[in-house]
Amino acid sequence: MPSVRKLSALALVVLGVSAVAPGGVPASAQPRAAKPATTPTVASKPRTVTLLTGDTVHLSTVDGQTAVDVVPGKGRERIPFITHSAGEDVRVIPADAVGLLNRGKLDERLFDLSTLVRFGYDDTRASLPLIVQHGGATPAGLAGARTTRELTGASAVAESRADAVSFWNSLTAASGTERQLRPGFDKIWLDGLRQPSLDVSVPLTGAPQAWQAGWTGTGVKVGVIDTGVDQTHPDLTGRVAAAENFTADPDALDRVGHGTHVASTIAGGGDASQGRYKGMAPGASLYSAKVCVQEGCPESAILAGMTWVAQQGVKVANMSLGGPDSAGTDPIEAALADLTHRYGVLFVVAAGNDGAGGESTVDSPGSVDEALTVGAVTKTGELAEFSSRGPRAGDAGIKPDITAPGVGIVAARSSTSDLWPDDENPQYTSMNGTSMATPHVAGAAAILTQQHPDWAPERIKSTLMSAAQPNTAIGVYEQGAGFLDVARAIQQTVTASPVGVAFERTTAAQTRTVTYANSGTSARTLAVALDAKDADGAPAPAGLFSLSASSVTVPAGGTATVTVTAQAGANLPDRYFGGELTATGGGTQVQTPVALDIARRQLTLKLIGPDGGAPRADQGWVTVLTDLDRQTLLVLDDPTVATHRVRAGRYLVQTYLQTGDPNGPQITSLVRPSLDLSRDQALTVDTRLAKPIAVSVPNPKATAVFQESGWTIRTEQPQIWGSNDPYGVLMNVPFDHVRTAQIGSGKTPGFVSYVNGMWGQVAQDGSLHNSPYVYRVYFYEPEKMMNGLTRKLRAGDFATVRSRISADVADVPVARLAVAHAPNNSPISRSNDGRQTPPSFTYDVPNTITEYYNQDKKAVWQSTSAQQGYTYYQSPWTSYKPGRTYTVKWANGVIGPVFPEPNFGQQFATRYWGDTMGGPGPLHGDGAGHMGFRHIVGGSVQVDLYRNGVKIGDANQTPWTWDVPAAKGDYRLAATFRSDPAFTLSTVVDAEWTFKSGHVPDGDLVKLPMTAIRYTPELDIDNKAPAGRLFALPISLDRQVGAAPGRTTSLTVEASFDDGRTWRKLSVLRSGEKAVAWVHNPAGTGFVSLRSAAKDTSGNTVKQTVIRAYRY
- 133 and 168, same domain (yes or no): yes
Which pLDDT score is estimated for 850?
97
Told to judge if 85 belongs to the known catalytic residues of this protein, a careful annotator would answer no
Cα angle value 257/259/261 (rounded, 5°): 70
- 440 and 521, same domain (yes or no): no
pLDDT tops 70 at residue 260? yes
Side-chain half-sphere exposure of 270, counting CA atoms within 13 A: 14
- What pLDDT, in 10s, does the model give residues 908-958? 557 777 788 887 667 899 999 999 989 888 899 999 999 999 999 999 887
For residue 600, what pLDDT band results from cuts at 50, 70 and 90? confident
Query: 165-195 burial by CB neighbour count: b if 16+ within 10 A, else e?
Result: bbbbbbbbeeeebbbbbeeebebbbbbbbbb
- 717 and 820, same domain (yes or no): yes
DSSP string, 527-560: EEEEEEEETTSPBPPTTSEEES-SEEEE-TT-EE
Which pLDDT score is estimated for 104?
84
pLDDT tops 60 at residue 10? no
- 908 and 868, same domain (yes or no): no
Boundary (domain end) residue, out of 565, 597, 629: 597
In a domain, 675, yes or no: no
In a domain, 653, yes or no: no
- What pLDDT, in 10s, does the model give residues 543-588? 999 999 999 999 999 999 999 999 987 788 888 899 999 999 989 9
Q: Are 829 and 903 in contact (CB under 8 A)?
A: yes
Highest mean pLDDT among 64-78, 775-789, 834-848: 775-789
- 112/433 Cα distance (integer angstroms): 26
Side-chain half-sphere exposure of 550, counting CA atoms within 13 A: 0
Domain with 368 in it? 201-451
Which pLDDT score is estimated for 178?
76
Boundary (domain end) residue, out of 173, 194, 215: 194
In a domain, 814, yes or no: yes
Beta-carbon contacts of residue 757 (< 8 Å; ≥ 6 apart): 695, 704, 706, 707, 708, 735, 775, 776, 777, 778
Told to judge if 435 belongs to the known catalytic residues of this protein, a careful annotator would answer yes
Which pLDDT score is estimated for 232?
97
- Tell which residue, 76, 268, 286, 291, has the closest CA to residue 166: 76
In a domain, 755, yes or no: yes
- Tell which residue, 12, 63, 85, has the closest CA to residue 830: 63
Told to judge if 226 belongs to the known catalytic residues of this protein, a careful annotator would answer yes
For residue 85, what pLDDT band results from cuts at 50, 70 and 90? low
- 271 and 218, same domain (yes or no): yes
In a domain, 924, yes or no: yes
Mean of the per-residue pLDDT values for the chain? 88
Q: Are 70 and 92 in contact (CB under 8 A)?
A: yes
Q: Stretch 454-478: mean pLDDT, rounded?
A: 96
Q: Stretch 524-535: mean pLDDT, rounded?
A: 94
- 178 and 212, same domain (yes or no): no
Mutual orientation of helices 258-267 and 434-451 as an angle, nearest 10°?
30
pLDDT tops 50 at residue 1002? yes
- 263 and 389, same domain (yes or no): yes
Other C-beta atoms closer than 10 Å to the C-beta of 760 total: 24
- 965 and 1094, same domain (yes or no): yes
- What pLDDT, in 10s, does the model give residues 623-635? 888 888 777 777 7
The one catalytic residue in 84, 233, 258, 737 is: 258
Bridge partners of residue 9, in order along the sequence: none
Which pLDDT score is estimated for 915?
86
Bridge partners of residue 635, in order along the sequence: 5, 624
In a domain, 466, yes or no: no
- What pLDDT, in 10s, does the model give residues 183-218? 999 999 999 888 765 567 899 999 999 999 999 999
User: pTM of this prediction?
Assistant: 0.76
- 240/223 Cα distance (integer angstroms): 10
- Tell which residue, 299, 133, 131, has the closest CA to residue 225: 299
**Into how many domains does the chain fold?**
5
CATH number for the domain harbouring residue 371: 3.40.50.200
pLDDT tops 70 at residue 22? no
- 18/71 Cα distance (integer angstroms): 9
Q: Environment class of residue 548 by beta-carbon count within 10 Å: exposed (0-12), middle (13-18) or buried (19+)?
A: middle
Name the phi and psi angles at 656, rounded to 5.
-110, 145
The one catalytic residue in 63, 122, 226, 230 is: 226
Beta-carbon contacts of residue 189 (< 8 Å; ≥ 6 apart): 107, 109, 110, 130, 131, 132, 133, 154, 299, 330, 331
Which pLDDT score is estimated for 152?
86
* Identity at 207, one-letter amino acid code: A
- 338 and 412, same domain (yes or no): yes
- 231 and 140, same domain (yes or no): no
Beta-carbon contacts of residue 568 (< 8 Å; ≥ 6 apart): 503, 505, 506, 507, 544, 596
In a domain, 103, yes or no: yes
CATH number for the domain harbouring residue 549: 2.60.40.10
In a domain, 631, yes or no: no
Query: 801-840 burial by CB neighbour count: b if 16+ within 10 A, else e?
Result: bebbbbbbbeebbbbbbbbbbbeebbebbbbbbbbbbbbb
Boundary (domain end) residue, out of 395, 421, 451: 451
- Tell which residue, 751, 607, 604, 760, has the closest CA to residue 697: 760
pLDDT tops 70 at residue 1010? yes
- Tell which residue, 905, 898, 834, 819, has the closest CA to residue 864: 819
Which pLDDT score is estimated for 96?
87
- 443 and 546, same domain (yes or no): no
- 113/110 Cα distance (integer angstroms): 8
- 291 and 422, same domain (yes or no): yes
End-to-end CA distance of the chain: 76
pLDDT tops 60 at residue 19? no
Q: Which has the minimum average pLDDT: 476-485, 1002-1011, 1049-1058?
A: 1002-1011
